[in-house]
């Protein structure tokens, strides 16, 4: 199983504000759909509850929460990192899709990052992507810059593969 994270980050690693995304870039949303469809997506309870139409179609949805008896229609529910990883250990690829707490929790186990780097520092950001650069990554794809006509935002894609992953003994 390959564990990947997909995230849109601003210039200061900001990813969210008031339990919402910082920006909605239509080409980026299409790319998200294309990359994740047919795979497993793993998300925190808050990110799940922010999905406008609930569980995302054509993907195995897994929600992590510490609450007992939490129900997430269209999704499987787990209570710990270990339970999540065990549940999808036979899946080909699992995308962690947020939010901040869950990115932080799964980063040590992550093999790949799919970043959308937005060239802007948003105001009022209250959720950040964890520090990741020092962990050792090789860039396998870089595309852009592109400009989103609707928002005027400039962004690029950067795919990273982990080089510094090793087991502690
Ligand atoms: N820019 C992006 O690409 C992107 C993507 C996704 C989300 N976001 C943004 O991120 C923000 C939400 O992030 P967030 O950090 O507040 O919330 P979150 O990570 O979506 O969800 C946090 C919740 O997940 C559960 N959880 C987290 N770690 C756990 C663990 N180790 N074991 C068991 N349960 C665990 C807990 O649920 P319980 O409280 O139920 O126990 C916790 O309250 C929003 O602003 C959203 O728009 C941005």
Q: What is the CATH number of the domain that holds 18?
A: 3.40.430.10
Please give the helix or strand (H or E) that residue 15 lies within, else none. Answer: strand 14-17
Q: How far is the CA of 47 from the centre of ligand 1 (A)?
A: 5
Residue 158 covered by a domain: yes
Instruction: Confirm or reject: Cβ of 64 under 6 Å from ligand 1.
Output: yes
Residue 25 covered by a domain: yes
Residue 43 covered by a domain: yes
pLDDT at residue 164, rounded to an integer: 74
Domain span including residue 35: 2-162
Task: Please state the domain count of the chain.
Answer: 1
Kindly give, in sequence order, each residue whose CB lies less than 8 Å from that of residue 91, ignoring residues fewer than 6 positions away: 1, 39, 40, 60
Instruction: Confirm or reject: Cβ of 13 under 6 Å from ligand 1.
Output: no
Residue 167 covered by a domain: no
What does each of the 169 residues of the chain score in pLDDT, given as a tens digit?
999 999 999 999 999 999 999 999 999 999 999 999 999 999 999 999 999 999 999 999 999 999 999 999 999 999 999 999 999 999 999 999 999 999 999 999 999 999 999 999 999 999 999 999 999 999 999 999 999 999 999 999 999 999 976 655 4
Nearest CA to ligand 1 atom 44: 19
The HSE-up count of residue 41 (CA atoms within 13 Å, CB side) is 27
């Amino acid at each position: 199983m390959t564990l990947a994270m997909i995230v849109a980050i601003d210039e200061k690693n900001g990813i969210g504000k008031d339990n919402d995304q910082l920006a909605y870039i239509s080409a980026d949303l299409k790319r998200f759909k294309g990359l994740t469809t047919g795979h497993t997506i793993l998300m925190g309870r808050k990110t799940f509850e922010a999905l406008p139409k609930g569980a995302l179609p054509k993907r195995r949805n897994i929600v992590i929460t510490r609450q007992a008896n939490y129900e997430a229609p269209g999704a499987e529910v787990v209570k710990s990192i270990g339970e999540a990883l065990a549940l999808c250990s036979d899946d080909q690829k699992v995308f962690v899709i947020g939010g901040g707490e869950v990115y932080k929790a799964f980063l040590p186990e992550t093999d790949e990052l799919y970043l959308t780097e937005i060239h802007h520092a948003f105001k009022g950001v209250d959720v950040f992507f964890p520090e990741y650069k020092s962990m050792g990554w090789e860039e396998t794809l870089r595309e852009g810059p592109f400009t989103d006509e609707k928002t005027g935002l400039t962004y690029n894609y950067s795919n990273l593969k982990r080089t510094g992953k090793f087991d502690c003994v």
